[in-house]
Amino acid sequence: KKSMGNLFTRTLSDIVSKEDFVLDSEYLITLLVIVPKSNYSQWQKTYESLSDMVVPRSTKLITEDKEGGLFTVTLFRKVIEDFKTKAKENKFTVREFYYDEKEIKREREEMARLLSDKKQQYGPLLR
């Protein structure tokens, strides 16, 4: 269930990669923003001015579904709340996600274990 669904509900660990984020920076952070398809051009025009201290040309489309796209944006940590507020006012949704390799590895192992359990449980039922 976690690996299906739209960008608002599904897990993002199987979509994003380490290269999509600014990691280990004292001042900068990369946020993930869900933008409705009808607002792509508005996002491109306005994301740099939603808050002070947004890194210019730092947005990148990671993936999209039928409703919208998942974009990255890099900004200074101290303006996160201001950026989230302004993004919400413009119908852009900031997804809470922080890239952590250990957590992603644990999540992938959990998914593999659940798939294995599912196969074991379905086997006797199908005979």
Give tens-digit pLDDT for 82-120: 999 999 999 999 998 877 777 777 877 887 888 788 777
Contact 10, 68 (CB under 8 A): no
Instruction: Give per-residue pLDDT as tens, 3-48.
Output: 567 888 887 877 888 889 888 899 999 999 999 999 999 999 999 9
SS3 97: coil
Q: Which CATH class is domain 18-98?
A: alpha beta
Is the full-model pTM beyond 0.85?
A: no
What Å distances lie between residue 6 and 34, 51, 77, CA to CA?
A: 10, 27, 27
Domain coordinates of the chain in residue numbers? 18-98
